[in-house]
Amino acid sequence: MLAGFIMAPSASAAGYGCPGSQIDTYAVKTSGGTTYSNIYLYYDSATGTNCASNVRTSAGGYGTSNPQAIDVQIWRCVAGSTPGAACTADTPIDGDYGYYQYYAGPVDVTASNRCITIFAQTRHNDVWAKRTLNAVHCG
């Protein structure tokens, strides 16, 4: 912690702390369409674990000395959830929220043969960008 801010560790070659292979990237945009961050989603087939980090872009304040809030959450949907629809979590939600210069995460959930939901938000210059991915990567 530095001057009231919690600093994120530097990004690792292993995918912002996530094991496995990167399987998707999702832009987190403001209502005006500016991409403030990207959600990077990884999957470890050996463990059935999905892992996500929310990484700032330069437009979203990547590396600024006065970072604002950034957040990422992931959960496994109940069995039988409809792909693309809001779902109920059947495990505790794993989330990371803080005032990070670079990224929030990693967060993970084991979800073989289940859908997952990811939520991320990023604040910069007092403007929020948000993204919810309901019941994705099912199966």
Q: What is the CATH number of domain 21-136?
A: 2.60.40
pLDDT tens per residue, range 24-65: 999 999 999 999 999 999 999 999 999 999 999 999 999 999
pLDDT tens per residue, range 65-105: 988 999 999 999 999 999 999 999 999 999 999 999 999 99
Domain residue ranges in the chain: 21-136
d(C-alpha 58, C-alpha 37), whole Å = 8
**129, 109 contact by CB (below 8 A):** no
In eight-state DSSP terms, residue 94 is: E
**103, 87 contact by CB (below 8 A):** no
**CB half-sphere exposure, 44, CA atoms < 13 A:** 15
Say whether pTM exceeds 0.85.
Answer: yes
